[in-house]
Structure 1
Amino acid sequence: MPQSIENGFQIDVKVTHLPDYELQAPYKHFFSYQITIKNIGNQPAQLVSRFWKILDGSHAPEYVNGLGVVGQQPILEPGESFTYTSACPIISAIGQMSGYYTFLNLMDQTTFKVQTPAFELVTNYSLN
């Protein structure tokens, strides 16, 4: 399971290929990913936004950014964690996602980034 630790936060990622999910062309493959964000630091922070770079072997990278994650901007006190599930369609059987979250430190109102670990989007049959 991919993991990263930066600026007092631990990010864990679990990816699942969903081969039976129906997609509209040109997308052929669908993946869900579950991310757990844990505040292992000593200051409360709020997840403000996210940025993703999605690599797909079939075309140029796609970039996704926006406020929060799955419609939420959670506040994480020291020791707390937040888990969410989202999804990504791609054209080729193999891809990759990487990116970062922007947080607001609630003690001093500064913002900082936490890199996510890069994680592979690989269809089940590509592993054989």
Structure 2
Amino acid sequence: MIAQITSGVKVSVETLYQPEYSNPENEHFMFAYKIKIENLTDYSVQLMRRHWDIFDSNGSRREVDGEGVVGQQPVIEPGESHMYVSGCNLKSDMGSMKGNYQMTRLLDNENFVVKIPEFHLIAPYRLN
């Protein structure tokens, strides 16, 4: 598991290769990632937007921006956490992702950015 704390918000990431949804012969490799966002501050925060930088070992790079995560803009109370699972497809069996969340501190509507640590997407057979 990879984790990073920014401005009192901890983001932890676990990844899993999805062979049942992958088709290597057609350059389609599917990965799932589970993210836990923990509010270590003394105030409520809301996740408003996300930004991803996705790197594929074939040399391609893409960016994804959008509102919230998996259709939600969760409010995370002090000491609480929010978890979600999503996925990413690559054209090769290795790559990485990193990004950030735009958060709002609800006390004063102050916006701040929380980093999502870089994590690797690697098919298990590549680790041998």
Please confirm whether the aligned pair reaches a TM-score higher than 0.5, indicating the same fold.
yes
CA distance in 2, matches of 1:18, 1:24: 11
CA contact (8 A) 1:46 1:103 kept: yes
CA distance in 2, matches of 1:26, 1:80: 42
Q: Say if 2:92 is the partner of 1:63.
A: no
CA distance in 1, matches of 2:72, 2:23: 26
Give the alignment of 1:4-83 within 5 angstroms: 4-22=4-22, 27-83=27-83
Q: Which structure 1 segments of 5+ residues have no match?
A: none
Aligned-pair distance for 1:22? 4.4
CA distance in 1, matches of 2:102, 2:27: 29
Aligned-pair distance for 1:59? 3.3
Q: TM-score, normalised by structure 1?
A: 0.95
CA distance in 2, matches of 1:77, 1:66: 22
Q: TM-score, normalised by structure 2?
A: 0.95
Task: Tell me the C-alpha RMSD between the 2 structures.
Answer: 1.5
CA contact (8 A) 1:101 1:113 kept: yes
Return the letter of the residue paired with 1:59.
Answer: G
Q: What is the number of equivalent residue pairs in this alignment?
A: 128
Displacement over 6 Å in runs of 4+: none
Q: Mean Cα displacement is larger for which, 51-60 or 32-41?
A: 51-60
The 1:23–1:110 alpha-carbon spacing in structure 2 relative to 1, beyond 3 Å, is farther
Report what 1:125 is aligned to.
Answer: 125
Report what 2:107 is aligned to.
Answer: 107
Return the letter of the residue paired with 1:119.
Answer: F
Structure with more of its chain in helix, by fraction = 2
CA contact (8 A) 1:27 1:89 kept: no
Identity %: 38
